[in-house]
Amino acid sequence: MKKKGLKMMTMFFLTFAVIIVGIFSVLMIKSGIFSTTQYLDPWKTTYSQQFKDIRVRLAAHGVLAANGHNMQPWIVRLDHKDANVFYLYADSNRLAPQVDPYARQTMVTQGAFLEYVKEAGDQIGFHTDIVLFPNGNYDEANLKESMDTKPVAKISLTKVEPINNELYPYIFLPDTNRGAYETTPLTKAQVNKLQDISDAKGVTLGIFQDEENLDRLGQYAMEGAKIESAVHRINEESANIFRANEYEKNKYRYGFSLEGEGITGLKKNVMQGMITMFPSINNEKASADLFEKSTQIAVEHTPTYAMIITKDNSRSNQVKAGMLYSRLILEAHNMGFVMQPPSQVLEEYPEMKEPYTKIHKEYAPGGKVIQMLVRMGKPTEVAQQTMRRDVMDLIKN
């Protein structure tokens, strides 16, 4: 009798184990754990070297730049008459109109791209002369059409001696780290060095480390997160570009994924499998709760905030702000710091009007505009690389 009972118990546990292994295997398959991560290829330091055209090689560095909502809204057109000239356009098909109704963040993104091109040019041995809006400013009443027909920048290259650009290696590091930071603030010398990188007229960089400003800016970050997480059309816009598994990430190569929330390793694959099989678990409330919780943890572990402020909201200054932002990211990495932009409070849709107006009144009066708000500190965890498009997808005739 005892042997029979023991045999039945053994069979039960074996069956249970088989079921668990089966479920786990299905989750891993649905997650795409065995797929190659083609969407990470552009992060390889050798990726750009496969392209003979130096313009494409430089654009391959630009595609790694920070960009709003990971939309990667860049188009590169090569000049067919001059092999040393190319043009950068904003991609009107890659806008996020709910969260960025005036395409301000899209313009900042263009500048981020240009600065990476410039830094890579210095390393490779090409001086980059960048002229913004060479064919004139956008017609704001016909913005999408203007984006399609008027370049953001003309980039002209001149062969020079390569330099050992100390910032170049940091192009290949993720630009955003959403984790908790150490309490270590920047030294006075580090603050001064960062403030010195702003050389564009009308674009300034402010750094805040005192307790009063840390508390105030943390409150703005939380308020912005709470407002945004409660706006259905914005959540819907974000959900439409969420990539649930490795198959989708390889297919689209832009948008949001679990890596962007700091979820990695086996946990990431289990969650990807679960979300793929049961999409309803990644519902609006769950996403909002996760966003608010992660923002709360972030502001509680932030020793420094920085702001990029422009004298006005011209398209040129938006682009210049993006160039400064990329430079700030690279300089921060060089010092051992990382960054994250909790910039929801700077977005211009109606629900955000009150805190947007208030933060500008306090920190950028007289018509100035805060283009970027970022938290900065020494990381406690390593950020993951996120999806990037193949540079050849950016090249258009």
Q: Is 110's pLDDT higher than 80?
A: yes
Q: What is the mean pLDDT of residues 350-362?
A: 98
pLDDT category of residue 240 using cuts at 50, 70 and 90:
very high
Closest CA to 74 of 157, 156, 151, 169: 151
Residues 375 and 256: beta-carbon distance below 8 Å: no
CA 35/CA 128 separation, integer angstroms: 38
Domain spans of the chain, in order of start = 43-172+385-396, 188-377
Q: Is 4's pLDDT higher than 80?
A: no
pLDDT above 70 as % of the chain: 92
Q: How confident is the model at residue 2, as a pLDDT? A: 53
Q: How confident is the model at residue 22, as a pLDDT? A: 59
Span of 169-173, 245-249, 339-343 with lowest mean pLDDT: 245-249
Question: Do the two domains 43-172+385-396 and 188-377 of this chain adopt the same fold?
Answer: yes
Beta-carbon contacts of 170 under 8 Å, excluding residues fewer than 6 positions away, are 329, 330, 333, 334
Q: How confident is the model at residue 198, as a pLDDT? A: 86
Q: Is 339's pLDDT higher than 90?
A: yes
CA within 13 Å, CB half, 188: 0
pLDDT digit string, tens, across residues 8-36: 666 655 565 556 655 656 656 766 777 78
**CA-to-CA dists, residue 90 to 71, 176, 196, 259, angstroms:** 11, 22, 29, 26
Structure tokens at 360: 């500008």
Residue 14: exposed, middle, or buried by beta-carbon count in 10 A (0-12, 13-18, 19+)? Answer: exposed
**CA-to-CA dists, residue 344 to 101, 224, 324, 332, 363, angstroms:** 13, 5, 19, 22, 16
CA 120/CA 358 separation, integer angstroms: 39
Q: How confident is the model at residue 30, as a pLDDT? A: 63
Closest CA to 94 of 111, 112, 108, 106: 106
Residues 143 and 84: beta-carbon distance below 8 Å: no
Q: Among the CATH numbers 3.40.50.80, 2.40.50.100, 3.40.50.300, 3.40.109.10, which is that of 188-377?
A: 3.40.109.10
Q: What is the mean pLDDT of residues 139-164?
A: 97
Please state which CATH class domain 43-172+385-396 belongs to. alpha beta
Mean pLDDT of the chain: 92
pLDDT digit string, tens, across residues 23-69: 656 656 766 777 789 999 999 999 999 999 999 999 999 999 999 99
CA 22/CA 32 separation, integer angstroms: 15
- Of 97-101, 193-197, 283-287, the range with the highest mean pLDDT is 97-101
Residues 136 and 90: beta-carbon distance below 8 Å: no
Q: What is the DSSP letter of 150?
A: S
Backbone angles phi and psi of 158, in degrees to 5: -130, 125
Q: What is the DSSP letter of 370?
A: E
**CA-to-CA dists, residue 7 to 11, 14, 16, 21, angstroms:** 6, 10, 14, 21
Cross-strand pairs, 290: none
Q: Which amino acid is at 299?
A: V
Q: What is the pTM of this model?
A: 0.93
Span of 20-34, 44-58, 227-241, 287-301 with lowest mean pLDDT: 20-34
Q: Is 226's pLDDT higher than 80?
A: yes
pLDDT category of residue 200 using cuts at 50, 70 and 90:
confident
Q: What is the mean pLDDT of residues 220-232?
A: 97
Q: How confident is the model at residue 35, as a pLDDT? A: 79
Residue 84: exposed, middle, or buried by beta-carbon count in 10 A (0-12, 13-18, 19+)? Answer: middle
